[in-house]
Chains A and B, each alone.
Chain A
């Protein structure tokens, strides 16, 4: 496409713009790359996700589908232009309602909602759904987004200024004048919490991400907009835990200023293109790579496995590291990287990778775990006989005898599919040398693991690799594994130039991990009064071409497959089997969601066989304090499953009565109600997984918190700060965040296994208490003393005693802190013996959900009516964030239950691979149950994965209740449901 055409002129956010570029360049690319407006996100480049939604002459369009030429003479509005340097009422409502989690879909949502609100300031819920249906969100479950749009009008100032008339909220940039701040704060906190807080009188904490710029000033790293948090009120000292202040990193998420992996590329960076296997299994060889570089203008270099200076094997579990950064001679799955092309950005746009000199020799692929285990099957990895990566086993009592003697026994089998994480942000980042240190800024869930594995692949010392996580647009487990890091690192190492790479949607879907497909069988026996006497479970998990988290799945499943029930006789086996399918790794629950589908649907069949109420059967067998788990772990305290089930009882009765009424008249639509539970151990299974937190007091009068627990949207930036505030005894607003950076923050472990609130929270609590002790001892006062930080003076009160510590007169340490503390916490677990007995986790979380739905008996379609979710979180550090996790987990559970099935080569985009839209998530009523765990910070337990586990089995149980039939293969698509209703075996 020729690019020497005349400049194309249009208006962007009210200012004229003129761009000389190819007329068919996508408007999204122009906005981001030529105009620096990176608030417009690229999620799919196909109009499927809506993340790039902008207003073109006031109409929402996907900027990825608009040729630059179509903008000629038009007005374009992006998220940056919604409120300029202030927040609009809608943006304020998003913050107050917790409608932004990771924030990657937020700009598209805000722009689409703005178009709606400009014509209809008080839309009804269905109008919001219609208007926002083109924007996908993977974190929130959409409910808080709908609330934020419906309630946006409440955030419009009553002020008669022109700004107020335009729906703009004063005054976000400067610390608020008391009156204005209070007026707005009142509106915000009515939704966010139930206490009447005063507005914070001093500068609020800046959003996270500022730490990104440290030491790498040459690159356009995150430059968050000046904070608008001052417009919101924050809880006073001692009241942070249990409050729902707006997220501390929230403002940049609603202004478009947050910087995700693809938003930080330096102008001088080379673009990296990845040559990938189009075959499930193929040997390959290269043609003349030197000639390729010479003959293609703008191509700087080509790299293959032969160029890797270190060990070309990485993996999240070092003992199982088996994945090459670039394949060596044979690709083991479709999408595996085999070569890299580094080129100038302009050349990247013109290069057709189809002409790369690689010859493929297709080899027979094993795509089915049964075939992979068959006698004589080729092995993917020489040392893994029968393609078995690992087996898991837990046994307790004598299940065979128990089941043989049980008066009531039920059994069944269920199969699940590959599930794609489908975060809206494809993997992206850049690498560059800063002196001798290779710095990688990329989205991730696990900066320290990234550092260690990247250093290994590149043959660098660990301290010569620095990982600076960008904002991460969703992770859900897949961004625990390396993706772009070794590739951009290699190219930067070899070329000496910054190198940037953003995966396309297809690359992201092909090459990164999936949820393991499972084939499971189980048998469950009970006495006639409904007491469970025994259970056996067998699960086969397709772990794909490389190990990733397969061993963790195989270990977790047998420990959890009993559900949160007393099961005295039990045997569970699992195995992770290699195939040439996509790599299966971590996905919210590490195999437990699959196992729970088997177990919880069997509980419904058992209830039917016993003639018992389904909730009562669960309540009767639920674990209580003092009971032992199937791993022989005696739970002394904090077991909240009974409390969850009891909280649901009235809802259960109401839902059953509603269903009976709905079904009284015959018709095509039948109402069903289902229930399912979960339990989930927080943190690594029977392995150490410490977190370390550092914090201190800066002379300027701030608590500086080095918060290394990566916030991928779940809220650790806010939750950890809330814990620190109360443990330290200072207000939340005094805290200044330094987000994860392997050069500056201590290792707070990976964001996975629902461990950050609990494990990092405990470390933070400990560090904060240590810091408090130091201050108290410095002031020579007792633990009852109160602290106050203002204007560089730390005041310590105790009764009549009032000591002023002039921070500026103290000698700061190397980090600029005058008091500082660092603390680590590692959950007290034990390893498991050969029968899987031991203490695999120190803290468990519990939950139960009710699904109400309608099944169309003639079409096999499901219309979800309502979810009621009760989750025992121990202590809700931040109730708004906790309900956000629950709603988001339910949305992913809905997808897994009803529509999500990743088929390599067939569903590598977001229109063939379906995730729930805003129209697919019904109202969710959340009950936060608080049964404190003595081990957790302020009694808190993990939550992030628990929330997804009960959803799919609750849906399947409701479908069975509605129709009388069980669907044995997930997702329960209309095809499969109708086939089950018609008695066909599909």
Chain B
């Protein structure tokens, strides 16, 4: 007989995590599809009743997204333009039905290479807040998601929040998703970009991340460095020149590796252009 617990406070949840192995369930939108028609074999820790995990708030240093915050809540939140990519990604996480229940933290813990939320959080420099009875630690997204379906989460830990340093909430951001149909589609590739423009119209800083083209979404640091200090009309040319060595796309049912390599360059350029707010060049994938 498996166990089920639905604690009302984080302390209770952490206590339970401290005494045994639990499967933490929030929106359950990955839990049930993975289960298929098999019976539940894990002990389930249902965190949906923990009010303190829900909602978006600010501290002096961070914008804090509670682990249980749904994608719909993200989409509707009043956030600066740097979060536009995240809001656009929020609209692409499954359907409205999924977005109404699926959690931001769940998207990270599921660690799918095609998780729509990850690139947009990466360009915000987001960190994951992990808590256990032993304490709290913070990991950058790239340190938290280790591989396909693999994270740094310890058995007694849970993700309690995703936080974005206020120092990186400047500029605008954009998200471009490439899929084989209009809605409700697992990405072939996706790109998020955040760009701050200097007073002279030059690119100040750029952050670019790509998903579904490697086991874990990747920041394109070389491109970011190259873009800094350049004019927005140079974006396409610069993107075209980059090696994009950070990416290692594979062949799968959604697209070939060759295709991903070619297409990702285009969507990266489109995302950066959109984030640099050049409306004449804005084209959705």
- Within B179-205, the residues touching A (CB, 8 Å) are 180-186, 188
Q: Say whether A65 contacts B101, CB under 8 Å.
A: yes
Q: C-beta contact mask, B1-30 vs A, less than 8 Å → 1, else 0?
A: 111101000000000000000000101110
Residue of A whose beta carbon sits closest to that of B283: A668
CB-defined contacts of B266 to chain A, threshold 8 Å: 858-859
Residue of A whose beta carbon sits closest to that of B263: A859
Residue of A whose beta carbon sits closest to that of B101: A61
CB-defined contacts of B4 to chain A, threshold 8 Å: 1-2, 5, 22-24, 69
Q: Say whether B97 contacts A901, CB under 8 Å.
A: no
- Interface of chain A: mostly helix, strand, loop or mixed: loop
Q: Of the candidates A5, A67, A856, which one forms a contact with B28 in the assembled complex, judged by CB atoms under 8 Å apart?
A: A67
* Alpha-carbon distance between A548 and B28 when the two chains are bound, in angstroms: 39
The reply to whether the CB of A506 lies closer than 8 angstroms to some CB of chain B is yes
> B95 → chain A, closest Cβ, in Å?
2
The reply to whether the CB of A46 lies closer than 8 angstroms to some CB of chain B is yes
Q: Say whether B25 contacts A65, CB under 8 Å.
A: no
The reply to whether the CB of A616 lies closer than 8 angstroms to some CB of chain B is no
Q: A5-B4, A112-B96, A133-B183 are in contact. Are A974 and B259 (CB under 8 A)?
A: yes
Q: A134-B183, A917-B184 are in contact. Are A47 and B94 (CB under 8 A)?
A: yes
Q: Say whether A899 contacts B6, CB under 8 Å.
A: no
Q: Say whether B283 contacts A669, CB under 8 Å.
A: yes
> B49 → chain A, closest Cβ, in Å?
8
- One of A350-358, A577-585, A789-797, A823-831 at the interface: A350-358
- One of A332-340, A589-597, A905-913 at the interface: A905-913
The reply to whether the CB of A628 lies closer than 8 angstroms to some CB of chain B is no
Q: Say whether A979 contacts B183, CB under 8 Å.
A: no
Q: Say whether B183 contacts A2, CB under 8 Å.
A: no
CB-defined contacts of A903 to chain B, threshold 8 Å: 253
Q: Say whether A859 contacts B184, CB under 8 Å.
A: no
Q: Say whether B32 contacts A982, CB under 8 Å.
A: no
CB-defined contacts of B135 to chain A, threshold 8 Å: none
Residue of A whose beta carbon sits closest to that of B2: A1
- Interface of chain B: mostly helix, strand, loop or mixed: loop
Q: Of the candidates A46, A354, A861, which one forms a contact with B178 in the assembled complex, judged by CB atoms under 8 Å apart?
A: A861
The reply to whether the CB of A860 lies closer than 8 angstroms to some CB of chain B is yes
Q: Say whether A352 contacts B38, CB under 8 Å.
A: yes
Q: C-beta contact mask, A727-762 vs B, less than 8 Å → 1, else 0?
A: 000000000000000000000000000000000000
Q: How many A residues touch the partner, as a band?
A: 35 or more
> A40 → chain B, closest Cβ, in Å?
13
Q: Say whether A914 contacts B256, CB under 8 Å.
A: no
- One of B40-48, B57-65, B206-214 at the interface: B40-48
CB-defined contacts of B46 to chain A, threshold 8 Å: 23-24, 67, 69-70
Q: Say whether A859 contacts B267, CB under 8 Å.
A: yes
Residue of A whose beta carbon sits closest to that of B100: A59
> B275 → chain A, closest Cβ, in Å?
18
Q: Say whether B188 contacts A133, CB under 8 Å.
A: no
Q: A59-B100, A70-B48 are in contact. Are A917 and B36 (CB under 8 A)?
A: no
CB-defined contacts of B262 to chain A, threshold 8 Å: 978, 982
> B123 → chain A, closest Cβ, in Å?
21
The reply to whether the CB of B170 lies closer than 8 angstroms to some CB of chain A is no
> B79 → chain A, closest Cβ, in Å?
20
The reply to whether the CB of A520 lies closer than 8 angstroms to some CB of chain B is no
Q: Say whether A134 contacts B95, CB under 8 Å.
A: yes
Q: C-beta contact mask, A24-50 vs B, less than 8 Å → 1, else 0?
A: 101000000000000000000111101
* Alpha-carbon distance between A669 and B94 when the two chains are bound, in angstroms: 27
CB-defined contacts of B31 to chain A, threshold 8 Å: 65
* Alpha-carbon distance between A206 and B1 when the two chains are bound, in angstroms: 49
Q: Say whether A974 contacts B32, CB under 8 Å.
A: no
Q: Say whether B259 contacts A53, CB under 8 Å.
A: no
Q: Say whether A899 contacts B2, CB under 8 Å.
A: no
CB-defined contacts of B1 to chain A, threshold 8 Å: 1-2
* Alpha-carbon distance between A979 and B256 when the two chains are bound, in angstroms: 10
CB-defined contacts of A134 to chain B, threshold 8 Å: 94-98, 183-184
CB-defined contacts of A66 to chain B, threshold 8 Å: 28, 101
Q: Say whether A24 contacts B97, CB under 8 Å.
A: no
Top 4 closest pairs, chain A to chain B, by CB: A134-B95, A919-B182, A133-B183, A46-B33
A residues in contact (CB < 8 Å) with B? 1-2, 5, 22-24, 26, 45-48, 50, 53, 56, 59-62, 64-67, 69-70, 112, 129-131, 133-136, 349-354, 504, 506, 668-669, 856, 858-861, 898-899, 901, 903, 906-907, 909, 911-912, 914, 916-920, 973-975, 978-979, 982, 984, 986
Q: Identify 10 residue pairs between A and B in the complex whose beta-carbon atoms are under 8 Å apart, listed by A's number.
A: A1-B2, A45-B33, A45-B36, A47-B98, A62-B97, A133-B184, A506-B37, A859-B266, A909-B33, A975-B255
B residues in contact (CB < 8 Å) with A? 1-4, 6, 25, 27-29, 31-33, 36-41, 44, 46, 48, 72, 94-98, 100-101, 178, 180-186, 188, 253, 255-256, 258-259, 262-263, 266-267, 283, 285
